[in-house]
Amino acid sequence: VGALTLGAILMLLHSGVKLLKWLSRIRPRQQIAPNRLAWTIFDANYEDGTANGFKVKHLKAFSHALRVYLATLPQYPQIDALTITEIGLQFPQADSRQIETIVRVITALENEIFVSGADRTSESLVALSQVNLEMLFNDLESLVPRTWDSKE
């Protein structure tokens, strides 16, 4: 009887350890599409900006999300680390209208972010009009395709 009990305990222990190993395995993260990630950031900051007034932090988030998205595209490698003048020089083979739109959007965002230098905090309201913000958001829509299930 003792050997039978010991055998049953060892069998259950072995199965329990296998089950515990399986449950605590390392699972790879689900990859989020770059355009979905960018639109998540755009939409959240646009919603917050329209509710509470657009601040420097919203424009920084727009600029960063756009640069990170564009850097994932094969035609714009490392665009997230380039200055505005380097963008036009670095990609002469790219579509000139798209490059103009990219430069225009990044210029508008970064001019507003850095307009007052160190005196400006991320909670400072921006001076862009509602019309300019709408044009900026339309340019973002032309550069970053929306996913099929994103809100519009």
- Residue 149 CA to its chain's centroid (Å): 17
**Cα distance between residue 68 and residue 39, in whole Å:** 12
Q: What is the average pLDDT score of the chain?
A: 86
Please give the C-alpha separations between residue 96 and each of 26, 42, 88, 119, in angstroms, as whole numbers. Answer: 45, 24, 9, 36
Report the share of the chain in percent with pLDDT over 70. Answer: 95
Q: Residue 119: pLDDT above 80? A: no
How far is Cα 55 from Cα 137, in angstroms, rounded to an integer? 15
Beta bridge partners of 55: 125
pLDDT band at 16 (very low <50, low <70, confident <90, very high): very high
